[in-house]
Amino acid sequence: MTGTLVLAGTPIGDVADAPPRLARELAEADIVAAEDTRRLGRLTQALGVRPTGKVVSYFEGNEAARTPELADALESGARVLLVTDAGMPSVSDPGYRLVAAAVERGIGVTAVPGPSAVLTALALSGLPVDRFCFEGFLPRKQGERRTRMREAAEERRTLVYFESPRRLAATLEDMAEVFGSGRRGAVCRELTKTYEEVRRGRLDELAEWAAEGVRGEITVVIEGAPEPGGDALGPEELAHRVAVREEAGERRKEAIAAVAQQAGVPKREVFDAVVAAKNAAAPGKP
């Protein structure tokens, strides 16, 4: 008989949030594959449990090489427990390769549900949560980052991103440029930890705040694009949306037509907004 792969959600901050089943699975698994074996040691000590099975590392650097080894163990009947540093394995963490390998071999996969930074941030953001889209980590290079943002600029679902505190200010500046400075967002920092903080506001306000420096693990929540025919967009926002499309390589005429259709306004109104913005930016203008 084949074994079972168990994906275990681990606390994102407060160890008291660990699901009760986690301790039992840690104690009984034949193999515990951990993203960081040292952090695993601290977790098991806090839970008062000692793994009886073999403990191996499973992180980004050895994930590809170790996956076949673990898949073979599963096929031989082992119960393999996969834990990452925080949250659910395979969600912006190691795990996808092993899940795919197990599914391909017809091996059962189950999960120990646990805390999620994505859902926690959504719930605390104060933004619509009925529909959302998780975008994970953005690229480090600004050009690639902005390209990814442009792909989501007209997404109407609430957007969720993970980001490094070192890149947060630059990312928020890019978001204000691509999504529009008036778009609302929330920066959730150190969720469930001692210094938990949720900062809400317009993207330009959040970028200004982050420029002073931010520490900790970050989840960013951004409201989706407005529905066509919803709240009227001002001339500055109309011109901004045309500029974003032009920067992406679209011709101005097509960009104006697309923005007009999405905003539910005449093309002439968008054209006038673009001309006004151009005149305002011209040298010598007040």
d(CA 11, CA 9): 7
204-255, pLDDT tens digit by residue? 999 999 999 999 999 999 999 877 655 567 898 889 989 988 888 889 998 8
Shared domain for 18 and 55, answered yes or no, is yes
Q: For residues 81 and 127, state if they share a domain.
A: no
- The verdict on 174 and 252 lying in the same domain is no
Is 286 within a domain?
no
Element (H, E) at 63: helix 63-75
Residues 109 and 12 in one domain: yes
* CA-wise closest residue to 180 among 226, 228, 129, 134: 226
74 assigned to some structural domain: yes
pLDDT per position in the chain (286 positions), as tens? 789 999 999 999 999 999 999 999 999 999 999 999 999 999 999 999 999 999 999 999 999 999 999 999 999 999 999 999 999 999 989 999 999 999 999 999 999 999 999 999 999 999 999 999 999 999 999 999 999 999 998 899 999 999 999 999 999 999 998 898 888 999 999 999 999 999 999 999 999 999 999 999 999 999 998 776 555 678 988 899 899 888 888 899 988 988 887 776 778 889 999 999 988 877 655 4
Predicted confidence at residue 286, as pLDDT, reads: 47
Q: Give the C-alpha separation, 38 to 125, whole Å.
A: 32
Q: Tell me the H-state helices in 137-266.
A: 142-152, 168-179, 203-210, 235-247, 252-263
Q: What is the predicted pLDDT for the residue at 181? A: 83
Whether residues 149 and 181 fall in one domain = yes
Q: What is the pTM of this model?
A: 0.79
218 and 126 both lie in a single domain: yes
The answer on 153 and 184 residing in a single domain is yes
Q: What is the pLDDT of residue 284?
A: 59
Check whether residue 88 and residue 129 sit in a common domain. no
Structural domains in the chain (count) = 3
User: What CA–CA distance (Å, rounded) separates 179 from 173?
Assistant: 10
CB burial class (10 A; 0-12, 13-18, 19+) of residue 207?
buried
Q: With beta carbons less than 8 A apart as the criterion, state whether 29 and 22 touch.
A: no
Of the three residues 64, 80, 115, the one that is the final residue of a domain is: 115
User: Is 207 within 8 Å of 27 (Cβ atoms)?
Assistant: no
210 and 255 fall within a common domain = no
Question: 111 and 166 share a domain?
Answer: no
| pLDDT value of residue 228 | 64
Q: What is the CATH number of the domain that holds 200?
A: 3.30.950.10
What is the reported pLDDT for 229? 56
Which of 115, 131, 152 is a domain's end point? 115
- Domain end point (choices 100, 115, 130): 115
CA distance 278 to 30: 66
What string of H, E and C letters represents the secondary structure of 66-112? HHHHHHHHHHCCCEEEEECCCECCCCCCCCHHHHHHHHHCCCEEEEE
- Give the CATH number, domain containing residue 53: 3.40.1010.10
Give the domain range for residue 269: 235-281
Residue 27 lies in a domain: yes
Contact status, residue 79 vs residue 30, Cβ threshold 8 Å: yes
